Amino acid sequence: MNQIAIKHNTEQPHTTSSLYEALKIASKNLKQNLKWALIFSLFINLLILAVPLYSLQVFDRVLSSRSLDTLALLTIIIVWFIFLYAVMDWIRSRMIFAATNQWEIKISKLIYFSDLVEAEQTEGNKLNSHLANVKSTLYSSFSTILDIPWSPIFVIILAFLHPLYGVIAIATIALLGTMAFINYQINSKQIPQSPDFGQVAYTADVKSMGLASPLVDRWHNNKIKSDSSKLKKQEYTTNIKSFSKGLRLLVQVVIIATGAYLVLDKQLTAGGMIAATMMAGRAFGPYEVAVTSFQSWLIAWKSWQKLQTMNLYSEALFSPKTKLPKPKGNLELQGIMSLYPGTQTPFLHSINLTITTGSCVGIVGSAGSGKSTLLELCVGLKQPALGTIRLDNATYIQWPNNSIGQVIGYMSQESAFHSGSIKDNVSRFSGDDDEYMIDACIQAGMHQTILKWPKGYDTTIGPEFKPSHGEMQRLLLARAIYKDPVLLVLDEPDSYQDPAGENILKELFIRRKEKQLTTIFSTNRSPLLNITTRIVVMNSGRIERDQTPEKISQQHKSIDKPKNSAPA
Residues 251-297: tens digit of each pLDDT: 888 988 988 989 888 898 888 888 888 888 888 888 888 887 887 88
Task: State how far the Cα of 350 lies from the Cα of 373, in Å rounded to an integer.
Answer: 14
Considering the domain architecture, whether residues 352 and 446 belong to the same structural domain is answered as yes
Domains: count for the chain:
2
Compute the distance between CA of residue 133 and CA of residue 131 in angstroms, rounded to an integer: 5
Picking from 294, 317, 340, the residue at the C-terminal end of a domain is 317
- Domain containing 189 equals 14-317
Strand order in the sheet with 331-339: 346-355, 331-339, 386-391, 394-395
Note whether 381 and 268 are same-domain residues: no
Distance separating alpha carbons of residues 487 and 394, to the nearest angstrom: 14
Domain contains 110: yes
The answer to the question of residue 170 being in a domain is yes
Q: What is the pLDDT confidence band of residue 33, given thresholds at 50, 70 and 90?
A: confident
Rounded Cα distance between 124 and 53, Å, is: 54
Selection from 188, 504, 168, 489 nearest residue 360 by Cα: 489
**Burial track 8-37 (b if 16+ CB lie within 10 A, e otherwise):** bbbebeebeeebbebbeebbeebeebbeeb
310 φψ region: left (φ > 0), alpha (ψ -120 to 50), beta (else):
alpha
What pLDDT, in 10s, does the model give residues 134-183?
888 888 888 888 888 888 898 999 889 899 998 998 998 888 888 888 87
| Same domain, residue pair 189 and 262 | yes
Are 356 and 278 found together in one domain?
Answer: no
Whether the per-residue pLDDT at 483 is higher than 60: the answer is yes
Q: Which band of pLDDT confidence, cut at 50, 70 and 90, is reported for residue 486?
A: very high
The better pLDDT of the pair 47, 323 is held by: 47
The domain that holds 234 is classified in CATH as: 1.20.1560.10
Is residue 528 situated within a structural domain? yes
Is 421 domain-assigned?
Answer: yes
Supply the pLDDT for residue 520.
Answer: 92
Structure confidence at residue 87 (pLDDT): 92
| Shared-domain flag, residues 246 and 350 | no
Distance CA 526, CA 536 (A): 13
Pairing relation of β-strands 534-539 and 542-547?
Answer: antiparallel
Question: What number is the average pLDDT over the span 526-538?
Answer: 86
Q: Does residue 229 lie within any of the structural domains?
A: yes
Q: Which of 394, 408, 410 is nearest to 321 (CA)?
A: 394
Q: What is the mean pLDDT of residues 55-60?
A: 84
The pLDDT, as a whole number, for residue 349 is 86
Specify the higher pLDDT residue, 555 or 56.
56
pLDDT per residue as tens digits for the range 358-404? 999 999 988 888 888 899 888 888 888 888 989 988 888 777 666 67
Query: Around Cβ 79, how many Cβ atoms within 10 Å?
Result: 12
The reply to whether 300 and 356 lie within a common domain is: no
Closest CA to 142 of 262, 34, 39: 34
Question: Average pLDDT of 539-553?
Answer: 82
Q: Which of 107-116, 212-221, 331-340, 514-523 has the highest mean pLDDT?
A: 514-523
Residue 563 has pLDDT above 60, yes or no: no
The pLDDT of residue 17 is above 70: no
The yes-or-no verdict on residue 250 having pLDDT over 50 is yes
121 pLDDT band, cuts 50/70/90, is: very low
* End position of a domain, from candidates 269, 289, 317: 317
Position 204 scores a pLDDT of 60
| Per-residue buried b or exposed e for 456-486, using 16+ beta carbons within 10 Å of the residue's own CB | ebebbbeeeeebeebbbbbbbbbbbbbbbbb
Q: What number is the average pLDDT over the span 301-315?
A: 69
* Cα distance between residue 506 and residue 501, in whole Å: 9
Any residues with CB less than 8 A from the CB of 302 and at least 6 apart, and which? Answer: none
User: Tens of pLDDT along 417-464?
Assistant: 888 888 888 888 886 678 888 999 999 999 999 998 888 888 888 777
- Residue 64 inside a domain? The answer is yes
- Is 323 inside any structural domain? no
pLDDT of residue 189: 64
Confidence of residue 405 (pLDDT cuts 50, 70, 90): confident
Reply yes or no on whether the pLDDT at 351 is more than 50.
yes
Residue 9 belongs to some domain of the structure? no
Indicate if 129 and 232 belong to the same structural domain: yes
Of 317, 344, 373, the one marking the end of a domain is 317
Q: Given pLDDT bands bounded at 50, 70 and 90, which one contains residue 567?
A: very low
Same domain flag for 267 and 175: yes
SS3 350: strand
Other C-beta atoms lying within 10 Å of the C-beta of residue 50 = 18
> In what side-by-side order are the strands of the sheet with 534-539?
408-411, 487-491, 518-522, 360-365, 534-539, 542-547
Mean model confidence pLDDT for the chain: 80
Confidence of residue 488 (pLDDT cuts 50, 70, 90): very high
Q: Are residues 109 and 252 in the same domain?
A: yes
Band (557; pLDDT cuts 50, 70, 90) = low
The answer to whether residues 446 and 368 belong to one domain is yes
Query: What CATH number is given to the structural domain containing 415?
Result: 3.40.50.300
pLDDT band at 217 (very low <50, low <70, confident <90, very high): confident
- Residue 180 CB partners (closer than 8 Å, separation 6+): 287, 290, 291, 294
Across the range 231-257, mean pLDDT stands at 81
Bridge partners, residue 338, by sequence:
348
Question: pLDDT band at 208, cuts 50/70/90?
Answer: low
Q: Let me know whether 238 and 100 are in one domain.
A: yes
My answer on whether 201 and 349 are in the same domain is no
